[in-house]
Every structure is written in C-alpha cells, then in structure tokens.
Amino acid sequence: MALKPVIFERFPSLQGKIPWVQLGEFPTPVPRLERLGKEIGLAQLYCKRDDLSHPEYGGNKIRKLEFLLADALRQNRKVVLTLGAWGSNHALATTVLSNKLGLKPACVMVPQCGQEYARNNLLANFALGCELAYAGNNLAAAYQIISVYLRHWLSGARPYFIWAGGSNALGVLGYVNAGLELAQQVKAGLLPEPDHVFCAVGSCGTLAGLVLGMKMAGLKTKVIGVRVYDKIGANSYMASRLARSALKLLRENDPSVPDLKLPASEFTVLHDYAGPAYAAPTDSGKEAVRLARDLEGLKLDTTYTGKGLSAIIDLARKGKLENRTVVFLNSFNSRPLEKLVPQKPAPSELPEKFRQCFDQVAKEGK
C-alpha cells in the first residue's frame, strides 16, 4: 500500500504544504475485463477499481476527501458541512471519513430521482450520525447551508464547507494523483498505455483531475467524461476551470510543477448517455450494470458508473474503439453497506422531510 500520494513523490516540496491525510488504500488495482471485453468486441478493456479505495466505503470521493478533510483538520474545524442529493455517495463518504477523523458531519440535501442504493445511502448516512437538513430546491439549499453554517459557527464550531461532489482545486488533487498513479501502473507493466480512460461526470472533479494528472505524467491518453448530471454543471468548461484551479494551487506551492495548457477543448464530455435526468436510470445503463455484474462480478450503479460503462459498450459495438486500450474508472463504492451499518434504521426514524421523500419513492415503486 502506498504511504503517500504519488504527487508528493513527484514533487516532494508539496508535502507538508498541501494538506493530506491518509484515509484510503492506494494504488487501486487495474484488472483486465476479459469477459466483458470479449462480449463487446474490445480486447484491451481494463478497470481502474476505485470502488475498492477504502476498506469500508470505497468510490471516487475517498481520494478527494484525503485532501479536503486534511484541510479541515489543519484549519481546526470540528464540523464538516457538505451538499448533495439525498442519496449522494459523496455525502455518505464525507460522513464515513469525517467520523474517522473525529469531525462532525452535516449535509444539506436536495431532491433526486430515488433508487434502492440512494435510499440505503440515506439510511446509512443517518445511522452514522450525519446531521441532515432537507432543501426542496436550490434556493432553499442556499438558505439551509447558510443557516446550518451560522448555527454551528455561533455555537463555537465554524464548519468546514465542502462543495457538492468535493470538487474544488484541493479536491481535484485526489484525481490528479489518480492520473499519476495510473501512469505508474502503466510504467510497471500492469497495463499498456491506455488510449482512453472513461469516467462518469457529475461535479467534474474526477475528469478535471484525471486529465491534469495524465498530462503531468506525460501520457497521451485521452480521458473521456460521460455526463450524468445537468449540462449546466457537467461540461468541458467546468472541468477545464477546475483543472486550471488545481494546477494554480500546485504551482503556488511548487513553481517547478509544469505550467500546462488546459483549454476546454482538452476535456471531452459525452452528452448522449445521461438519460432524462440525474439519477434516472437508462436502458443502456441498466444493461451495462447487468453485464458488469454477470461477466466480471463488478457492482455498478445506474446513476454514474452504469452510464459511464454504457458509453464504452455503445462505442465498442459501433466499432469506434477498435484496437484501442480502454480503462473504465469504477468510481462507485462496492463495499457492502451492511458491514458499515449492520442495523439499518427504519425509514420512519428519519427526520420528517426525509421520511416524506422516502415514502414518495416507495409509492412510485422505484
């Protein structure tokens, strides 16, 4: 297990300046998906198993939170406040890791299309002690963020605020590091240099960091983001802006970090696989989840990774990935929630607003 991020090996003077705390288990493995590859006509298909990034709760948020929560500790904050949909993986990861560090988690949650995994995330988040505040729309979310923030601040514990998805300059470093880690795995002969890495795009931090990290490593790999969230928040411009802010942060702390150009044109985002709304399952996403499970034993979700993999399947079947080496980033947690929360609370124990959205989902039979 790596004891420090590759980025600190590459630029030693960053260590100590950039906040970081070890929480996850890295590097994550990169197995070849032979059976799935054969099924879709893509001989060189690999998976970057970030679903295994933590022994209790994996997924892509762990890498970001190693930097963000270290910053919260450095600033001596006691409460961590974040924002997400009520079934958010990011919110649950923030709770799990905040608890490990003795920080108190709080989250403002907005509505989403409900699914089984989302309901389980919400119950787990509640069981693990996250302070939940419901907001029915964006305006209400802004109000709730301010009021939860002020309430804690006035009682002597100014919260550390983490934006939805953990995507800011510091959080993005988690995926810069993932790009450098993947380059090391290529160098070690664990896989050939990929032509493409595919990842799901929500708040853009994963895509932004991967593009920057692969570029810093000198790989020619093209990262392809598959949008799963609204276009207004998930697009090339947003990813480019985030990558540039992460690079700025690195260069402020170590001017020897190369000054790379990161125009929006280098951040590819596919818009055809998102379906009608965030978290609304698509047929192709469901097929991807099923194929990954049946052929490779992988546990994907229909909100992010199923849609991400559905792009690879579609393009491979259309012959557009012929002779290419492709890496699929599995960014969803695959650790069982039952281990994390052995006694799942009943929905009736949730705060009222959350009970209502739970009931609604149950009535819709989703």
Ligand X SMILES: Cc1ncc(COP(=O)(O)O)c(C=O)c1O
Under the binding rule (CB under 6 A), the answer on residue 124 touching ligand X is no
Contact of 270 with 196, CB cutoff 8 Å: no
Task: Provide the mask over 294-323, with x wherever binding to ligand X is found by CB under 6 A and - wherever it is not.
Answer: ----------xx------------------
**What are the φ and ψ backbone dihedral angles of 162, each rounded to 5 degrees?**
-115, 125
Select 218 or 297, whichever has its Cβ closest to ligand X. 297
Select 44 or 333, whichever has its Cβ closest to ligand X. 333
Under the binding rule (CB under 6 A), the answer on residue 202 touching ligand X is yes
Task: Provide the mask over 150-179, with x wherever binding to ligand X is found by CB under 6 A and - wherever it is not.
Answer: ---------------x-x------------
d(CA 286, CA 10): 40
Select 59 or 179, whichever has its Cβ closest to ligand X. 59
What is the smallest separation between the CB atom of 41 and ligand X, expressed in angstroms? Answer: 25
- C-alpha dist (Å) from residue 100 to 24, 60, 106, 149, 318: 11, 17, 14, 21, 46
Considering only 40, 132, 204, 341, the residue that binds ligand X (CB under 6 A) is 204
Burial class (CB in 10 A: 0-12, 13-18, 19+), 270: middle
- Contacting range for ligand X; rule: CB under 6 A; set: 149-157, 197-205, 276-284, 348-356: 197-205
Residue with tokens 């399952």: 281
Under the binding rule (CB under 6 A), the answer on residue 235 touching ligand X is no
d(CA 308, CA 311): 6
Task: Provide the mask over 321-350, with x wherever binding to ligand X is found by CB under 6 A and - wherever it is not.
Answer: ----------xx------------------
Select 20 or 304, whichever has its Cβ closest to ligand X. 304
3-state secondary structure 265-320: HHCEEECCCCCCCCCCCCHHHHHHHHHHHHHHCCCCCCCCHHHHHHHHHHHHHCCC
Task: Provide the mask over 84-113, with x wherever binding to ligand X is found by CB under 6 A and - wherever it is not.
Answer: -----xx-----------------------
What is the smallest separation between the CB atom of 257 and ligand X, expressed in angstroms? Answer: 21
Longest dimension (CA), the chain: 60
- Contacting range for ligand X; rule: CB under 6 A; set: 201-209, 260-268, 287-295, 312-320: 201-209
Considering only 28, 185, 206, 310, the residue that binds ligand X (CB under 6 A) is 206
Considering only 28, 203, 240, 284, the residue that binds ligand X (CB under 6 A) is 203
Considering only 87, 194, 205, 285, the residue that binds ligand X (CB under 6 A) is 205
Task: Provide the mask over 47-66, with x wherever binding to ligand X is found by CB under 6 A and - wherever it is not.
Answer: ------------xx------
Select 112 or 144, whichever has its Cβ closest to ligand X. 112
Strand order in the sheet with 79-85: 131-134, 104-110, 79-85, 160-162
What is the smallest separation between the CB atom of 332 and ligand X, expressed in angstroms? Answer: 4
What is the smallest separation between the CB atom of 197 and ligand X, expressed in angstroms? Answer: 13
Select 157 or 270, whichever has its Cβ closest to ligand X. 270
d(CA 159, CA 140): 19
d(CA 92, CA 125): 5
Under the binding rule (CB under 6 A), the answer on residue 213 touching ligand X is no
d(CA 259, CA 262): 9
Q: Find all residues with CB under 8 Å of 352, minimum gap 6, and list them.
A: none
d(CA 179, CA 97): 22
d(CA 319, CA 42): 9
What is the smallest separation between the CB atom of 7 and ligand X, expressed in angstroms? Answer: 17
d(CA 65, CA 299): 22
Summarize as ranges the residues that interact with ligand X (CB under 6 A): 59-60, 89-90, 165, 167, 200-207, 304-305, 331-332
